[in-house]
Chains A and B, each alone.
Chain A
Amino acid sequence: MNNIVIFPIIIPVIFGMIMIIFRKRLKLQRYLSLISMAAVGIVTVYLMLQVKSEGIQTLHLGGWVAPFGVTMVVDMLAALLITTTSIVAFCCLLYAFRTIGTERENFYFYPLFLFLITGVIGSFMTGDVFNLFVCFEVMLVASYVLISLGGTKIQLRESIKYILINILSSFLFLVAIAFLYAMTGTLNFAHLSLRVAEVGQDGLMTTVAILFLIVFSLKAGLFLFFWLPGAYSAPPTAISAIFAALLTKVGIYAIVRMFTLVFYHEPEVTHLFIGILAAITMVLGAVGAVAFWDIKRILTYNVIVGVGFILAGVASFTTVGMTGALYYLIHDMIVKALIFLLGGTVIYLTGTSNLRDLSGLIRLHPQLGWMFFIAALSLSGIPPLSGFLGKLFISEGTFEAGYFWLGAIGLFTSLMVLYSIMKVFMNAFWGYTVIKEEEEQGTTAGLLLPIGILTALTIALGIGTQAIHEYVDLAVEVLMNPSFYIEAVLGLNPKP
């Protein structure tokens, strides 16, 4: 029992609710949201350290032992992800202060933002498949509201598509849970794992596994990403940045969890299938990224490529591949938020997202330009930035698993990513400066801080990977050996 585990989930809820009550006091809301995100950050870091020193932390909510109650489980994977989440969210929040506008602030932007974080963190921590559904819904409903917050035409149009597809995927999720429950009679991941392991993964179980895969693919944007480009380009920058950083990652996390803990018996089927989907995703994402001359579109298609790449590592189902996937997951959360914030800043400064109308920003905004450059390199996994190690290990993992085509596609798409993102850089920042200083639409004052933090992070993560390797290795160890997780949750054989 460790009650700290619950705090990352409830701190945002409590603060958010308080903010709803003090709706008209915007300054207070800003402070409160910042405080709560900082608190979440501290707690998550504390939890991460605790997981490292004491093993997997569990909390049987309400005191009901697994599998009867809902158990919150923080293994290293979850700990890493929630820590990254809180950092990224903190930066997006800082960015939002300057850009989101009082109108949205008045209409519960901060509470909704915090609830989104609750949903995301909850999804990372929960040890129960139905609770995962509920946490997904928390996240999704928050995102529904955030995406439509402001009610502009494009927002309304895109949010209809987004919501409809997500409602369907929620239904599918429920259907999958129902099937799983009929067959196994339980909901707890650990217990499910035991029961599935006991009877083996027969044809029907594999089918259900694939159904789960489809559900999570819809959320993660794995192959079924059609909702993603539109939805991510509709809302304001701070919101789309947090979406890009977190939402798809939750789906990825769910796939990782499900297919390492429960449905890991038939990797030639399920994981190969993930690999195929990942390959298609990468190709289509990269194709989409190079196709357009619009910053937002280029960035959103890059999100898709990232998803495919991470799951390529997962598909390999080797220790190396998983390590890579994990590094890349963390990297992707940071760098996607970063690149979206940067792209958003460019749009904010110039008022256009069409690359053909942009030119020579670097003369007036050198810091912005260089940070964009670093982010762009990091995005395509150029060493020694944070994406490199992930890329290396994912490729190695796919090779080890014998999926050479997958690794090759991964590497080649990273070149296309580089092309697409450098296109942005070269067209927006280089060239003759067309805008005079007086014609500037806005300043970067205050926007550079969150961007700077994230840039520093991507550099630091690249060079200082050694600092987190123990954590990642621990996470992978748990992923590759489900028994650790099961023991920690069900207490069959408590860890020494």
Chain B
Amino acid sequence: MKEPNDIIIRSVAKVAVVIIFTFAINLFISGHHYPGGGFIGGLAFASAVILLFLTFDIETVRKNIPLDFKMVAAIGVLIAVLTGLGSLLFDVPFLSQAFGYFYLPIFGKTELATAVLFDIGVALAVIGTALTIIMSIGDDR
């Protein structure tokens, strides 16, 4: 069977992927105050990549994102754990989070919390795992 052309879906997918990426990052960042968070953000991000897999083929995507996602996951977990360990430096219980308000030049009054760092770890772990799984199965013939 001849390869059917995928022009419509590919062009829409490109736009969609951008939107999803943006949204995923938004979900992730605003997770502390609105629905979302590291896990959902990460998985949304992963689903964007899945969309890429679906519309393009696995080699193209892999060429463009040349990462070992298992390592991403590992680094994610490491970040999360090390964030927790950081609290040991201040002699507070493991995983104690801190937050504060800072005045940054562009954003104005901003709240920064170490929980966000923890969430980054979560997100990375989720992204890494989801993509590892998908790519492993996708690879297998």
Contacts and interface: CB of A to CB of B under 8 A. Distances in A.
Contacts of A18: 74, 78
Interface string A1-12: 101001000100
Nearest to B76: A17
Interface string B67-78: 000110111011
Interface stretch (A44-52, A59-67, A164-172, A458-466): A59-67
A59 B95 CA distance: 11
Interface string B59-103: 000000000001101110110011011001001111111000000
Contacts of B92: 1, 63
B74 A62 contact: no
Given A3-B88, A10-B85, A59 B93 contact: yes
A17 B94 contact: no
A304 interface: no
Nearest to A19: B74
B94 A61 contact: yes
Nearest to A1: B93
| Most-contacted residue by chain A among B70, B73, B96 (CB, 10 A) | B96
Nearest to B88: A3
Given A3-B88, A20-B74, A62 B81 contact: no
Interface in A1-60: 1, 3, 6, 10, 13-14, 17-18, 20-21, 23, 59-60
A63 B71 contact: no
B95 A14 contact: no
A10 B74 contact: no
Interface string B89-124: 001111111000000000000000000000000000
Contact of A3 (B74, B81, B94): B94
B96 A17 contact: no
A13 B70 CA distance: 15
B28 to A, nearest CB: 21
| Most-contacted residue by chain A among B70, B73, B78, B93 (CB, 10 A) | B93
A17 B74 contact: yes
A14 B94 contact: no
A59 B81 contact: no
Nearest to A7: B94
Contacts of A1: 92-93
A23 B70 CA distance: 10
A6 B94 contact: yes
Contacts of A63: 92-93, 96
B93 A17 contact: no
B71 A3 contact: no
A62 B78 contact: no
A18 B94 CA distance: 20
A61 B82 CA distance: 14
Contact of B96 (A10, A20, A23, A62): A62
Nearest to B125: A17
Contact of A60 (B75, B88, B91, B93): B93
A68 to B, nearest CB: 13
Given A20-B70, A63-B96, A10 B75 contact: no
A89 B52 CA distance: 43
Contacts of A23: 70-71
Contacts of A21: 71, 74-75
Contacts of A20: 70-71, 73-74
Contacts of A60: 93
Contacts of A3: 88, 91, 93-94
A48 to B, nearest CB: 19
Contacts of B75: 17, 21
Given A21-B71, A21-B75, A10 B81 contact: yes
A110 to B, nearest CB: 13
A61 B74 contact: no
A59 B93 CA distance: 7
Contacts of B93: 1, 3, 59-63
Contacts of B97: 62
Contact of A17 (B77, B84, B88, B91): B77
A62 B70 CA distance: 28
Contact of A10 (B71, B84, B91): B84
Contacts of A6: 84, 94
Nearest to A115: B77
Nearest to A62: B95
Given A3-B88, A21-B71, A61 B78 contact: no
Given A6-B94, A14-B82, A61-B93, 7 more contacts: A10-B84, A10-B94, A13-B77, A14-B81, A21-B74, A21-B75, A62-B94
5 contacts: A13-B81, A14-B78, A14-B81, A17-B74, A63-B92
8 tightest A-B CB contacts, nearest first: A20-B74, A6-B94, A17-B74, A63-B96, A62-B95, A17-B78, A63-B93, A61-B95
